[in-house]
Structure 1
Amino acid sequence: MVQFTRSELCTRILEGQHLIIYNRNVLRIPPSWLDAHPGGSLALLHFVGRDATSEIDAYHNDQILPMVNRYSIGTLSEPGPWNPLLPPIAAGWARKDGKWSSEAATWNADSNQVFLVANNSPVLQKSAPTIETLTPLPSNISLEVQEQHSVAYKMLHKRVIDAGLYNTPYLTGYGPEFVRYISLGLISTYAFQHNWLLTSALALGLMWHQLMFFVHDLGHLGVTGNWNIDRIISIIVADFIGGLSIGWWSDNHNVHHLVTNHPSHDPDIEHLPFFAISPKFFSNLYSSYYKRVMPFDSASQFFIRLQHYLFYVVMAFARFNLYRLSYASMYSKLFEKRRARGGRWAVGLEFIGVAFFWWWFGGIVLRGCGSWKKALAYVFVSHAATSPLHVQIVLSHFGMSTDDLGPVESFPDRQLRTTMDVKCPEKWGFIHGGLHLQVAHHLFPRLPRHNLNKASLMVKEFAKEENLTYVEFGFVSANREVIGVLREVAGLVSSLGQQVKLVAEVASTEAKEAVNKKIAQQEAAFTRSRSQKINTWLKLYES
C-alpha cells in the first residue's frame, strides 16, 4: 500500500486531485463521482485535504461504508492525528474543465478566521492555488484535543448503533404522524367543499407544515434508509403535494449540515437583504454555495436595521422563497450533468410533481375559491400557517456561533458550537417535528427522529464528559435569543453608519481593508457578548 506524506498530498491537490482522508486512508474522488455523489459535490469539496472520518460515518449506513474504500489510493505515512489542509473551495478556488478558477478572495482581517469576498482586485488574481493557499491559518484549538473528541464521538456513535436507535419505529413513530397528515387533509377538503375557505386553508397549511418534517426525514434517509425508496416518497410528498423540490432541499441541507453557520459557506444563514446574524455579513461576503457576492447594499442596510421587528413577518412569507429557490435549482439542472444516483428519473419526476401541484392547487383549489380576493386570502392563510416550521428551522442556529475555527475543529465540536436544542415535552415533540433536538440530529443526521430523545440523553453525557457546551433553551427563551441576536446586529448597522456604506462604495483597497478591520473588531466584540449572554442564560435556565 502506497503511503503519502502531507507534502505529497498538497502536491496532488494542487494538481487538481480531490483527496479526502478516511480512517487514515487517502481517498481520491474522481470527477465522475464528484458529479454523481448523492450528497452533492460540495459535500466532498469542503473536505478535500481534511479528515472526514466522522462525517462519512455519520452520513452513510453499513451498506454504503464498505464501498468508500474503493477510492483509496494509499494511507498516511505520518503517525498521529492528521493535520488538515485548507480545502481549495474554502479559499475561493474551483476546478473548471481541468483548470483552476479563482471564484473569490479570502479575507481574514485581524483574526485567524477565513471568509470569502469578491475577487475583483488585479493584485489578488492568481492562476492557481499554492501551498500557502492550502495552509490553514494558526489555530487557537488543539489538534490533539480535537482528535480526542473525534475518538469519543466514534464511541458515542457505537453506543447509538448498539442501542438500536437506527431502527425506524414505523408503527409507533409514523403511525400517529400519518393519522395527523390524513386528518388535516380530510379537514381541509371537507371545509373547502362547504366553502369554509379560511378553515380549509389553515388545515392545508398545517398539513404542509407537518409533511415537511416527514420530507426532512426522507431527505436524510431516516425512514427506510434506501436512497431510491426515500427519494420517490419524498418527491411525492414535497413536489406533488407541496410544490417544492426535494432535490434542491437535499443539496442545500447537506451543505448546511457540513459547514454549519459558516457565513461564506452555509446557505441556511445567507439571507441578505432580510437577515444578518453576524456583522461579518457587512463585508459583502462571497457565497460558495450560491456562487455570488452577497452585497450589503442600501436595501440590506434598511432591512437589517429592522430585522428584529420584521422576523416573524418575514417568516410568514418564507414558503414563497422556498418556491423561488426550488424552481431556480430545477431550472439549472436542465443544463447540467445529472449528479444523483438513479439518473434523470428523479429530476423528471420532480418536474411532473411540481406541474401536478400547480394543477391541483392553482387550477382546482384557487380557481374554486370563487374570486381573486378569496383566492389571495386562501394563499396567504395556507402559507402563513407553515411559518412555525420556518421559525423552528432558524431557532437552532441563528443564536449560535458563526466563527470559523478552521479545518482543525472536529465534527462534534463544530456541531455543538453552532447548534442549540429547544426543550419540549416528548408528547408535544410532533409539533416541532424532531427539529427541536437539533444537536443530536446534527451529530447523527440519519437517525429516525422518533429516536432522537434517547440519543440526546447520550449526547448530553458525551458533552459533559468531553467538557463541551450543550446549549438548550425553552421555546420562548430560544426565540428571545434569536431576536436578541437580530437586535444586536441591527444596532451595529446603525453604529457603524457611514463605515458600512463605504464597503459597497469606495474603490480604494486600503479604504475597504480599513472598514473591514473595523467590522472585524465589532464582530469580535459581538461574539464575546453573545458567548457571555448564552452562558448567563444557561446558568439561569439550569437553576
Structure 2
Amino acid sequence: MQFTRQELCTRILEGQHLIIYNRKVLRIPASWLDAHPGGSLVLLHFVGRDATAEVDAYHNDQILPLVNKYSIGFLAEPGPWNPLLPPIAAGWARKDGEWVNEAATWNDSNQVFLVAKDSLALQKTAPTIEALTPSPSQLSLQIQEQHSAAYKALHKRVIDAGLYRTPYLTGYGPEFFRYISLGLISAYAFRHNWLLTSAFALGLLWHQLMFFAHDLGHMGVTGSWTVDRLISIVIADFIGGLSIGWWVDNHNVHHLVTNHPSHDPDIQHLPFFAISPKFFSNLYSSYYRRILPLDCGARFFIPLQHKLFFVVMAFARFNLYRRSYDWMVSQISQKRRARGGRWAVALEFAGVFVFWCWFGGIVLRGCGSWQKALAYILVSHVTTSPLHVQIVLSHFGMSTEDLGPLESFPGRQLRTTMDVICPDQWAFIHGGLHLQVTHHLFPRLPRHNLSKASLMAKEFAKEEGLTYVEFGFISANQEVMGVLREVAGLVSSLGQQVKLVAEVASVEAKEAVDKKIAQQYAFSRMDNASQAI
C-alpha cells in the first residue's frame, strides 16, 4: 500500500502510531508500544518521523528483521520524508483510547517547548493537522538527508571494522580484576575495622560497576537482551541497590531527545539545577508527565547552583535510590510490561531487598554505632560522585535548542554532546564514556572500542561540516560552571524583578488605601458638618 502525507496525518490523528523506516510505514500496535523493551516514549517521539538512523543504531542484526513485521506499506511520495511533529511533542497523549492535551506549546523563535496549561483540567479534545505541522525550520531537508546518508555509511564502516565485537579478554579482563580487587579490599578492611577504608573501596567499586551496568543496559556486552538484563540486575540491584530497569527507561529517552528541556529527563533537575532559562516557564515534562515548577525551592537553589554543583553531585546517589524505587513501584500497576518484564521487575525487587539486607543488615549494623554507620554511608556514597559529574559533564554545557524533527540523528547528537579529552591510561576513571559523542552516535558499541570509532566519527563530522566538540576535564567543568553561573544570574535578576514589581505594587496599594482612607475621612467630615447644620 502507498501512503500519502495526508493519509499518514489522518491515521495518526485517529490514534495510530506510524513511524517511517527505510521508506516503509511501520504501524506500532498499542500492545507493543507498552511492551517495547526500550520503553514507549522512544517510539512516541518518532510518530510521523523517519527513524531509520535511530532504529539501526539501537537494534542489532538479530532484532532488525523483526522490525519489518510491523510494515503496512510504503511512502507514496519520492525523495526524503519531510517529518511531521509527533503528537507528544505538541503536548498530546492517548489515554483510554482518547486524545488528552496535557500541555500547551510555547513558541520561542520557532522553538517549540511544552509549558503548563492555563487550566489544570485536561482537555479531552483532539489534535488537528496543524498540531502535526512543525514550525518553519532553519534547516535544509536536503542537507539533513545528506547527513543521514553519510551517517549510514559511517555506521557500515564501524560494523565492517568489527567494532561491535566485545573485547571480553582485553577489555573486560582488566575491569573484572579491578572489580574483584576493590571488593576484596573493602571486605578485608571492614573485617579489620578500618571502616572508612572499607567504605571508600566500596564506593569505588560501585563507581566502576555502574559503567559495566551502563554497557549492559545498552545491550553492549553479549548483545542478548535477556543475558545482559540478568547480569545488569545482579550488578545494579543486588550489588548497588539501584534499578537497572528505571535507568534504561530513563536513559533511552535521553539518548533520543538529548538536551531537550521538555523531553530529556537527564537535564530535568529542578529544584537543584537549571541549564536553560526555559526552565523558568513552568515547563512540562513529557517524561515525568508533570510540571517542573520554578517554586520556592528552585528560587533558592538555582541562584547558587554553580556554587553548590559539586556538593549536590556528592549526594546524588540518594536521588538515584528515590528514582529507582518510584519507577519500580509504578511497574506494579502496569498492565503490560516489556519482554521479560514481569520476571525482570520481580527480580529487581528481590535484588533491592538483598542489597539492603547485606548493606544495611550486615555492613551498617556491623559498624558498631550509628555515628560510624553514618560515616560509612557518607564516605561510600560521596566516593561515587565522580560518576554523577561524568554523567552531566558532556551535556550541561551544550545546546538546549529545539531545531525541530527535521534535524538528523547525527546532527542532533553532535550539537548536544561533548567529549572529555583523557589519556588512555586514565580512561577507566571515566568508564570509557569520556568519548560521549561517539557513544551517542553508536549507543550499543562496546565502550572499549569507542576510541577507534571516535576517529571515524571525527572524520565524518569534518566531511559533513558538523562540529565534534571536545574539552579537557578542567575546561569541560569550566564550561558547565559557566552555563550554571549564567542561568543562576538570570534567575537572580528574575527574582529581583519580581521583588521590584511586588514593591511597586505594595507602594501603589498603600497609596490607594491612603487615598481611600482620605476620601472616607473627607466624606465623614462632610456628614458631620451637614448634621451640625
What TM-score, normalized by structure 1, do the two folds share? 0.91
User: Structure 1 residues 500 and 479 mapped into 2: Cα distance closer, same or farther (>3 Å)?
Assistant: farther
5 Å-filtered alignment, 1:197-276, equals 197-276=195-274
Report deviation, 1:123.
Answer: 11
Match of 1:314 in 2: 312
Report deviation, 1:497.
Answer: 2.7
Tell me the amino acid that sits aligned with residue 174 of structure 1: Y
Q: Which runs of 4+ in 1 moved over 6 A?
A: 500-504
5 Å-filtered alignment, 1:327-338, equals 327-338=325-336
Report deviation, 1:261.
Answer: 0.2
Match of 1:356 in 2: 354
5 Å-filtered alignment, 1:22-101, equals 22-101=21-100
Contact 1:307 1:486 in 2 (8 A): yes
CA distance in 2, matches of 1:348, 1:266: 27
Report deviation, 1:299.
Answer: 1.3
Match of 2:472 in 1: 474
Report deviation, 1:283.
Answer: 0.5
User: Structure 1 residues 468 and 19 mapped into 2: Cα distance closer, same or farther (>3 Å)?
Assistant: same
5 Å-filtered alignment, 1:121-520, equals 121=119, 125=123, 127-499=125-497
Report deviation, 1:426.
Answer: 1.3
Report deviation, 1:503.
Answer: 12
CA distance in 2, matches of 1:462, 1:345: 42
- CA deviation profile, 1:422-444 (whole Å, cap 9, x unmatched): 00111211110011000000000
Match of 1:527 in 2: none
- CA deviation profile, 1:67-100 (whole Å, cap 9, x unmatched): 1010000000011110000000001111111111
Match of 2:507 in 1: none
Report deviation, 1:265.
Answer: 0.3
Is the deviation greater in 181-190 or in 341-350? 341-350
User: Structure 1 residues 500 and 290 mapped into 2: Cα distance closer, same or farther (>3 Å)?
Assistant: farther
What TM-score, normalized by structure 2, do the two folds share? 0.93
Aligned residues: CA RMSD? 1.5
Match of 1:540 in 2: none
CA distance in 1, matches of 2:500, 2:168: 57
1:19 lines up with 2:39 in the alignment: no
Match of 1:533 in 2: none
1:9 lines up with 2:8 in the alignment: yes
Report deviation, 1:495.
Answer: 2.0
User: Structure 1 residues 73 and 197 mapped into 2: Cα distance closer, same or farther (>3 Å)?
Assistant: same
Tell me the amino acid that sits aligned with residue 84 of structure 1: P
User: Structure 1 residues 365 and 403 mapped into 2: Cα distance closer, same or farther (>3 Å)?
Assistant: same
Local SS of the residue matching 2:471: strand
Contact 1:105 1:124 in 2 (8 A): no
Report deviation, 1:502.
Answer: 11
Tell me the amino acid that sits aligned with residue 198 of structure 2: S
User: Structure 1 residues 293 and 123 mapped into 2: Cα distance closer, same or farther (>3 Å)?
Assistant: closer
5 Å-filtered alignment, 1:99-114, equals 99-109=98-108, 111-114=109-112
User: Structure 1 residues 501 and 296 mapped into 2: Cα distance closer, same or farther (>3 Å)?
Assistant: farther
Local SS of the residue matching 2:449: helix
Give the length in aligned residue pairs: 502
Contact 1:273 1:296 in 2 (8 A): yes
- CA deviation profile, 1:125-147 (whole Å, cap 9, x unmatched): 46011100000000001011000
Unaligned runs of 5+ in 1: 505-543
- CA deviation profile, 1:204-240 (whole Å, cap 9, x unmatched): 0000000000000000000000000000000000000
Tell me the amino acid that sits aligned with residue 376 of structure 1: L
Report deviation, 1:297.
Answer: 1.3
Report deviation, 1:343.
Answer: 3.6
CA distance in 2, matches of 1:386, 1:368: 22
User: Structure 1 residues 405 and 246 mapped into 2: Cα distance closer, same or farther (>3 Å)?
Assistant: same
- CA deviation profile, 1:14-61 (whole Å, cap 9, x unmatched): 000000000000000000000110000001000000000000000000
Report deviation, 1:122.
Answer: 8.7
User: Structure 1 residues 377 and 468 mapped into 2: Cα distance closer, same or farther (>3 Å)?
Assistant: same
Local SS of the residue matching 1:75: strand
Report deviation, 1:108.
Answer: 1.1
Percent identity, aligned pairs only, is 83
- CA deviation profile, 1:434-461 (whole Å, cap 9, x unmatched): 1100000000000000000000000000
